[in-house]
Amino acid sequence: NNKNHFIQQSTIRNIGIRATTSDYIVSTNVDIIFPNRKDLLEIISKNENESKHVFYTINRKNVDMLMTTAIYNNTHTEPDKLRNILSQYVSFRATPNDIDPIGMFKQEAIKQLDPSTSLYQEYVKYARIWNCGDFQMAHRDIWFDIRGFEEGMLDSAMGTDSNLQKKVCNYGYKLEILNKPDVFHMSHPARSSQAKRSNDLDYWFVNFDKSRNNESW
């Protein structure tokens, strides 16, 4: 009956991962417009055997939510038509993060973190881009081997997706950051719950090795 009680996002995502029957599983968010199935299958099919051992993260590109809604309402709800219009918009605008997300991440991270610290080194090595959790895709065997998302981490707080990517590498899989196909993020005001809660990044990131989830995750 506690109105403040809620189920952690990591747990919810893990329930979805455990329930799925597909070979490849995508983790994304409700404010994301993701690529069509054909584009995603092309990523996998380039080297199908290798893809089973690769964890793919696609950089997001920000688009205005109201603009996107207006376009959607005038494209007769054709998803590919909407994607094409947004791709043209992003290409025309071409922010530095749209062009070189890994390079921009390093530049911005050094403004926020002391480059001599372990935390900075770990973030640059494993997070690789800002908002890395907006689109992550891997074969189900990878998700099950690493035991999904860490359920002990706080929801709506920093580090859950970066932790996942470090865990992927620690388990011997390849982490690949892509900038195409386009993944669009509909920009919106920050959630009020953010910044009120924080994960212990020394515990969950810097000094993290293998999953701390139990076998029945």
Distance CA 37, CA 28 (A): 14
> Is residue 188 within 8 Å of 31, Cβ to Cβ?
yes
Give the closest residue to 10 by CA, choosing from 116, 214, 168, 150.
150
pLDDT at 47: 85
The amino acid sitting at 52 is K
> Is residue 176 within 8 Å of 111, Cβ to Cβ?
no
Question: Whole-structure pTM over 0.75, yes or no?
Answer: yes
Question: pLDDT at residue 126 above 70?
Answer: yes
pLDDT at 217: 94
Mean of the pLDDT values across residues 112-135? 96
Question: pLDDT at residue 107 above 90?
Answer: yes
How does 76-97 read in b/e, with b if 16+ C-beta sit within 10 Å? eeeeeebbebbbebbeeeeeeb
Question: pLDDT at residue 190 above 80?
Answer: no
CA atoms within 13 A on the CB side of 130: 18
Mean of the pLDDT values across residues 40-59? 95
Distance CA 56, CA 90 (A): 21
With DSSP H G I counted as helix, E B as strand and the rest as coil, what are the percentages for the chain, rounded to 5? 45, 15, 35
pLDDT at 1: 47
Give, in degrees to the nearest 5, the angle at Cα 93 between 88 and 130.
100
Residue 191 — pLDDT band, cuts 50, 70, 90?
low
pLDDT at 158: 84
pLDDT at 51: 95
pLDDT at 4: 52
Mean of the pLDDT values across residues 39-68? 95
Both structure tokens of 195:
């910044």
Tens-digit pLDDT profile for residues 63-104: 999 999 999 998 887 899 999 999 999 999 999 999 999 999
Mean of the pLDDT values across residues 144-168? 93
